[in-house]
Structure 1
């Protein structure tokens, strides 16, 4: 099949105009009041009765004729005869005559003849005589009929978002159903034969991956005010894709697909759109998210058309494109106001190069450079206090962890080649509720550390290995670095340390009878290592160097003799998982990992794990929390095999 190339990439404003030209509006509907929170009124609602519907007492006391109390005070009270009582919810059966009063409770109907209520605190009772010790004017302590809302008055208008206060007003008016704007129904379709829904069995050997976009996009649709409807995965063949797209188009106001939008020969979705509807745009000059489709689809068995937007397949790209281009259209169709953009200004923590000539939405994280948190509020743009640092979070569009490690995006114009360290930038937060982490760390992936972080409020930790942890601490990006070995970073204070036993993780029962590293060198065994940034790999390398010296040979020769030494995986459990899957005979790992997974373990030594904090950030509340947790590390170490205090 001939490769379909991208058309000329559209300017981002052209993409917005194309989406604006689509009709996403759903029919208005009537919903029960109890289900109306967050919906938007489609019609004006007028009051059909007075609220309250009667003159009522606003305090506990006595209903009186105000004229009977003129001149009364503490020294010279007025005596009134008690004629009866009226409670809330009861119709009065007594009338207030001259020189009389009636006992009333808060909310009670004001009895005939009365025009004021005296608080019980300003009276004394002597049998059936009430001494009133204050003067009243007509209307005192009385809420007259219609004082809250009068019959015929405009209560609420169209376009109002119904919150608890509006629900309360409508309840007072006796309204039990309300006319609201229809929420656009959005069909969600993830394409690709490799996708599996979460909760289903996964065959990684066959290249299967869990579908991230369906649930992520559906949640984003609902957050924007739409109603999400998930459809089965579409395969990468034309017939399957056409069938599910046309089914969704017949039932939804908007169809969103993700994946199959690039210029690959197997990606046929643009053909489906062209042949069953109209393709308005293919490709936008923006990163991430260049392979974007906009068009209209004809539904199966229906003459009507549905709006269509094709999102990129990578989760970060899909969510960024949705938030930037599609969410505003969904909100408008639902009648919801555009939220105030929550932004924070800060300084770039590191230099970031970029020269692709497209508008870039750079995922970014925030970290406070000192003990004071930046001032933000109300969802409006807010200047930082000069303390906020901004760092790029870019593992590539395919990395789902970027979804939670980033706090927002920085819009980098096409003509900007780099953002310099210290340069002021504006971060568009994913939510007004986003706050920087209380403590931000990076370094060695360690089970004990994971448990300690559970004791800290709002931590963020990147398990990037000791080498990267030290680099980020040195560059001022992180508050904390967790490393192995005897490294002493400058301008940093050690918060604490512990030891962990390391070695070779093998299948249960050690079927190959592996005794140590010599076996990896001398026998035909398959090994799985950690990445070069890992402190554990550095420890292994040092031991192999010692072994080479004992044998009178070069370290390089021993490394070359180990089958799989360069086959590296990132996390502390990853080598063990490869061994469990039968892909290797042994993997570099920890006794704690082998114990947790029910595997065998061949000990090779111990290494120190050390926690360092930047001297500039040692007083941050989050760093102090982590320091307190490290001080009490012994309880955590007791839960992990091979761990001990140093």
Structure 2
């Protein structure tokens, strides 16, 4: 009998939000030095226990007087006052002002006894006796009332007043006020500590040696989710990988629960026999929810472990980030007393129609692009939630209601951004990956390139979503485009240094039992290879199929333009399809088979877009880029 956990009763997304809201994520308050308080949130009210300022002080440079003595003074008939001394800021007055007397005073200085107003220095004139070296009197040409140009004690903050309330986020201005109150430490909300545990025997931490032959992959989720935790106001704490061992998973989860306010795990939440994490929660805590009616991210867990809250995220990076941002990040922000970012959403129009009818909430990963007028367009990003590159192609998600059958082209939608810092790329390019292209894109501000291959690039350009498509080799389809320019590159067979098998050309792959690594069908260089095979077949009066069947490895194509060369460098192949420049960069030998054009073709509606114009300008002037790459030659329209 199977022991798999089935998702028969998927919870409504709102039920999932309520379940997370019921968890206690809030940490205890703490007291921190004022110097470390910026960005923190006050845990309790702060009352002033002294007046700010704590004394009556002059707000201008001038002369402290009794206001009533200046009545009637003007430019035509000034009133003379006897000078009785000077008061400087930061010193205690040693004079007293009586009737008809004045004391020179600096801005911020304590008002001397007897004085209740200050005449600005610009409205006075010092009077000096003929036989004296210093002024003995001052002529006042402006009347002032009691209190004029004086900041009374407690004007800024009065003793006993409520200075700042609980929940106040401490920015530089609040820090300034607390400083004025003389506080050197303040009570603040604690920062929620979020423990992150990634599960799976196949995971390896970045920086450690990766054994691809064992099926190992680098751990994406731990660092992605940790960055999201920090952005939401929490403190991320990474734990070692739990693997798929029940005992180790249990030990790590309980350790994290003992040390953290919330434990997040990724992976091991789906309904398979090896995914046992939900059993740990059921046996050592309380499982509140298993499975949510949302796509992506159905296998989601919510529960409690000891005194800690627990949420299990899906294992695929895009699903994990989407579920985290939608359900978990708001709870962390609330626990940290931080507001929802005001800039976390944008509105745009759908760039194309998208069908959907699955009866559950869909959190559709979406990318942003702008048209020539700067209007935001939204397009679906659908590589499958296991594709890590979707993390950088998708800018956020569009929540599609369960009863929505399709989103129409031009329909306005709201995109919930993965981060408030996300902005649409200045240029969205797709197509053939190429070392010269990479150098050109480095010279632009915030471009985005999707290496989907020449054929797929043209297909996407026909859907009018990208700004430009980079097309290599003899690849074409009926798509209206504007040619911005391009280059040629030498292609052929990449072989080990020294060419130990003495590979001389394409015929060697056909006639000898050599291990070959090909490129995928969407690559333009693959089209160049196929054209060369067709020519060889004609020359031999054979069928193209006969030749391709004879090439060991022809039918399996890699995506990356360096992948075949790297397989050769590892000793896994005798030859690989690649570029002269790639062979040179990796220290390998190269057997040339020809040159192929690479063209940058623009969406006709976007040629006046700033990013497209900047790329076109770089194409015209970037001869240095092509001169630096073996086998390249600059070409213009």
Whether TM-score is above 0.5 comes out as yes
Find the aligned partners of 1:549 and 1:208 in 2 and give their Cα distance.
44
How far does the alpha carbon of each residue in 1:87-135 deviate from its partner, in whole angstroms, 9 at most, with x for none? Answer: 3222222333444433333222223333223333344445515444433
After TM superposition, the structure 1 stretch with the greater mean CA deviation from structure 2, 417-426 or 15-24, is 417-426
How far does the alpha carbon of each residue in 1:536-568 deviate from its partner, in whole angstroms, 9 at most, with x for none? Answer: 111221222222222222222222221111221
Whether 2:358 is the aligned partner of 1:356: answer: yes
Distance 1:290 1:488, change over 3 A: closer
Q: Which residue of 2 aligns with 1:475?
A: 463
Find the aligned partners of 1:120 and 1:583 in 2 and give their Cα distance.
88
1:422 to 395, 403, 410: 410
Q: Which residue of 2 aligns with 1:90?
A: 91
Q: Which residue of 2 aligns with 1:530?
A: 519
Whether 2:214 is the aligned partner of 1:206: answer: yes
Whether 2:285 is the aligned partner of 1:287: answer: no
After TM superposition, the structure 1 stretch with the greater mean CA deviation from structure 2, 411-420 or 51-60, is 411-420
Q: Which residue of 2 aligns with 1:2?
A: 2
How high is the TM-score relative to the length of structure 1?
0.92
Q: Which residue of 2 aligns with 1:555?
A: 544
Distance 1:488 1:230, change over 3 A: closer
Q: List aligned pairs for 1:426-445, cutoff 5 A.
A: 426-445=414-433
Q: Which residue of 1 aligns with 2:188?
A: 180
Q: What is the root-mean-square deviation of aligned Cα atoms in Å? A: 2.1
Asked if the contact 1:3/1:263 (under 8 Å) is kept, the reply is no
- How far residue 3 of structure 1 moved from its aligned partner, in angstroms, is 4.1
- How far residue 430 of structure 1 moved from its aligned partner, in angstroms, is 2.4
Find the aligned partners of 2:168 and 2:291 in 1 and give their Cα distance.
37
Distance 1:84 1:24, change over 3 A: same
Find the aligned partners of 2:492 and 2:87 in 1 and give their Cα distance.
85
How far does the alpha carbon of each residue in 1:458-494 deviate from its partner, in whole angstroms, 9 at most, with x for none? Answer: 2111111111222222211011111124758754322
Is the partner of 2:28 in helix, strand or coil? strand
Asked if the contact 1:341/1:428 (under 8 Å) is kept, the reply is no
Q: Which residue of 2 aligns with 1:118?
A: 119
Is the partner of 1:63 in helix, strand or coil? strand
- How far residue 398 of structure 1 moved from its aligned partner, in angstroms, is 1.2
- How far residue 74 of structure 1 moved from its aligned partner, in angstroms, is 4.1
Find the aligned partners of 2:118 and 2:632 in 1 and give their Cα distance.
76
Asked if the contact 1:410/1:428 (under 8 Å) is kept, the reply is yes
Find the aligned partners of 2:519 and 2:126 in 1 and give their Cα distance.
88
How far does the alpha carbon of each residue in 1:427-483 deviate from its partner, in whole angstroms, 9 at most, with x for none? Answer: 222234432211111111011111111221221111111112222222110111111
Find the aligned partners of 1:368 and 1:228 in 2 and give their Cα distance.
35
How far does the alpha carbon of each residue in 1:9-37 deviate from its partner, in whole angstroms, 9 at most, with x for none? Answer: 22212222222222222222212222222
Distance 1:323 1:490, change over 3 A: closer
2:332 to 330, 350, 367: 330
- How far residue 226 of structure 1 moved from its aligned partner, in angstroms, is 2.1
How far does the alpha carbon of each residue in 1:488-543 deviate from its partner, in whole angstroms, 9 at most, with x for none? Answer: 87543222212222111122222222122121111111111111111111122122
Asked if the contact 2:461/2:479 (under 8 Å) is kept, the reply is no
Q: Which residue of 1 aligns with 2:13?
A: 12
Find the aligned partners of 2:81 and 2:585 in 1 and give their Cα distance.
84
- How far residue 199 of structure 1 moved from its aligned partner, in angstroms, is 1.0
After TM superposition, the structure 1 stretch with the greater mean CA deviation from structure 2, 207-216 or 3-12, is 3-12
Whether 2:220 is the aligned partner of 1:231: answer: no
Q: List aligned pairs for 1:367-386, cutoff 5 A.
A: 367-371=369-373, 373=374
- How far residue 156 of structure 1 moved from its aligned partner, in angstroms, is 0.9
Q: Which residue of 1 aligns with 2:311?
A: 309
Distance 1:278 1:132, change over 3 A: same
Find the aligned partners of 1:101 and 1:458 in 2 and give their Cα distance.
65
Q: Which residue of 2 aligns with 1:492?
A: 481
Q: Which residue of 2 aligns with 1:270?
A: 278
After TM superposition, the structure 1 stretch with the greater mean CA deviation from structure 2, 80-89 or 29-38, is 80-89
Asked if the contact 2:197/2:264 (under 8 Å) is kept, the reply is yes
Find the aligned partners of 2:432 and 2:120 in 1 and give their Cα distance.
70
Q: Which residue of 1 aligns with 2:498?
A: 509
Whether 2:605 is the aligned partner of 1:616: answer: yes
For structure 1, the 5+ residue unaligned runs are: 299-304, 374-386
Whether 2:162 is the aligned partner of 1:154: answer: yes
Asked if the contact 1:260/1:313 (under 8 Å) is kept, the reply is yes
Is the partner of 2:419 in helix, strand or coil? coil
Q: Which residue of 2 aligns with 1:321?
A: 323
Find the aligned partners of 1:86 and 1:520 in 2 and give their Cα distance.
98
After TM superposition, the structure 1 stretch with the greater mean CA deviation from structure 2, 257-266 or 558-567, is 558-567
Asked if the contact 2:366/2:396 (under 8 Å) is kept, the reply is yes
Distance 1:284 1:88, change over 3 A: same
Find the aligned partners of 1:412 and 1:19 in 2 and give their Cα distance.
21
How high is the TM-score relative to the length of structure 2?
0.93
Whether 2:195 is the aligned partner of 1:195: answer: no
Distance 1:535 1:103, change over 3 A: farther
2:398 to 410, 424, 437: 410
Q: List aligned pairs for 1:235-254, cutoff 5 A.
A: 235-254=243-262
Distance 1:539 1:132, change over 3 A: farther
After TM superposition, the structure 1 stretch with the greater mean CA deviation from structure 2, 354-363 or 78-87, is 78-87
The size of the alignment, in residue pairs, is 626
- How far residue 352 of structure 1 moved from its aligned partner, in angstroms, is 2.2
Find the aligned partners of 1:362 and 1:370 in 2 and give their Cα distance.
25
Find the aligned partners of 1:42 and 1:401 in 2 and give their Cα distance.
41
Distance 1:133 1:453, change over 3 A: farther
